[in-house]
Amino acid sequence: MSPRDLRGASASDPFVRPVPGILAGMVALGTALFAPLLPLGMAPLFIAGAVLAGGTVLWRLRRLPPLDRGLLLPLLLFWLAGGLSIAWTPVPIDGLAQTITFAYEFVPGILLIALTAGLDPERRQRIERWLLIGIAVGLAVYAVEVLADQPLYSLGKLGDATHLGRIRALNRPAVILAMLVWPAALLLHRRGFVRTAWLLPAGYFLLTLATPSASAVAGVAAGLVVLALALWSPGAARAVIGTVLVAGFAFGVPIAHGLHRVGVAEMEELPWSFRHRVRIWQYAADRVAENPLFGWGLDASRSFPAEGMDGLPLHPHNLFLQSLLELGVVGSALLLWFLLVLLDRTRRLGAAQPYALAAFASALVIANFAYGAWQTWWICSLLLTVFLLVLVAAGGAGSAGGVSAGAPDSRGPRP
């Protein structure tokens, strides 16, 4: 879908005010304020922005934009599988709530991403400017929090901040910013600041070393490795990520058993958080074996009690195991199908592929070590990242300032 397609669908420009302002405000607030300081607010911010901006455009167009049916089919089937699992999940109300949450996350998000191609260059550049300003402010604010003992968090808590609260206040922003640095780096690269484009995620990686978030460290590191590979060959990078996806779903359970069997959970030289995860993964793997085909039901992870180091503290801290535990082989196969199609769709971003693949790698690593797979603030942060990648890629399609990826399939983006 080209900008001409959308603008020609209505007698007047569907992207009239306040749509560009809503999108620019969403990007500015998300990157500069919510990401570093109010991470749980990423969900209402993105959903409100997507509903207001996307809804206004749809109302003026009077029709849906062309949608990628090949991508939506597995996502819809996965959503239906989760909805059906309410019949056997231990706490049906939790499964129902999560099914509804999926709907109000993905429906406005997907429509907004599909409509992005209709933005004209001037409005796109306005949003891009706020992306650069916002990410610069957000990283600066987060750096102050990390390096100066969280003065803003302590001020908000009136000096009564707990140790656990301090850690959480650094960990969530760490993984959100680990995603948002990639569209910002792509924009810098597209505008000709190639070294700065590399320095942005590399510098952020160094900052994460001073945080308690090992997941953010690993995620950005994986992204940098994939970026280097994808700049040489996007196809090779896609093959590596695809292999990890298939292997994760196929061998996640035996790997969890193997790590526990060799005593990783007892190795004192390893960080406590990783040793704890190994025990969580072992527990989850045992429960997967009890209902392997259809799982325990959507959001059932919350129903397993956590007593000390045993049980699940709300979720397995692992995308592969959580999917297998809750939706079994059937639901996990649908999720794998969706992720592989999404990975393949990075081809459509043309010269922007390396940064999209780097973001994909970062998200995959973080999702398998950090938070619950279905947490709303995390999914909305991912959707915002996809929106920004598509936005920036569309602005660079066919321009001399595009990223040189060395790829034979450097077509323009097609949401």
Rounded to an integer, the average pLDDT of 379-397 is 93
Task: List, in order, residues 6 or more apart from 244 with CB less than 8 Å away.
Answer: 364
What is the phi-psi region of residue 397: left when phi exceeds 0, alpha when psi lies from -120 to 50, beta otherwise? beta
pLDDT tens digits along 42-98: 999 999 999 999 998 888 888 888 889 999 999 999 999 999 999 999 889 999 999
Supply the pLDDT for residue 18: 84
pLDDT tens digits along 287-297: 999 999 999 99
Minimum mean pLDDT among 21-30, 199-208, 274-283: which range? 274-283
Residue with the bigger pLDDT between 110 and 166: it is 110
pLDDT tens digits along 272-282: 777 778 888 88
CA distance 197 to 214: 23
Supply the pLDDT for residue 129: 96
Minimum mean pLDDT among 141-150, 197-206, 312-321: which range? 312-321
pLDDT tens digits along 216-261: 999 999 999 999 999 999 999 999 999 999 999 999 999 998 988 8
Residue 405 has pLDDT above 60, yes or no: no
Supply the pLDDT for residue 310: 57
CA distance 379 to 106: 9
State the DSSP H helix or E strand holding residue 88, giving kind and residue range, or none if neither: none
Within 10 angstroms of residue 49's Cβ, the number of other Cβ atoms is 24
Supply the pLDDT for residue 186: 98
Q: In the numeric block, which tokens belong to residue 210?
A: 């001073």
Supply the pLDDT for residue 304: 77
Residue 213 has pLDDT above 60, yes or no: yes
CA distance 346 to 233: 13
Rounded to an integer, the average pLDDT of 30-39 is 96
Residue 301 pLDDT class (50, 70, 90 cuts) = confident
User: In this structure, what are the phi and psi dihedrals at residue 369, rounded to the nearest 5 degrees?
Assistant: -135, -20
User: In this structure, what are the phi and psi dihedrals at residue 310, rounded to the nearest 5 degrees?
Assistant: -105, 155
Residue 398 has pLDDT above 60, yes or no: no
| HSE-up (13 A, CA, CB side) for residue 231 | 14
Under 8 Å between Cβ of 142 and 38: no
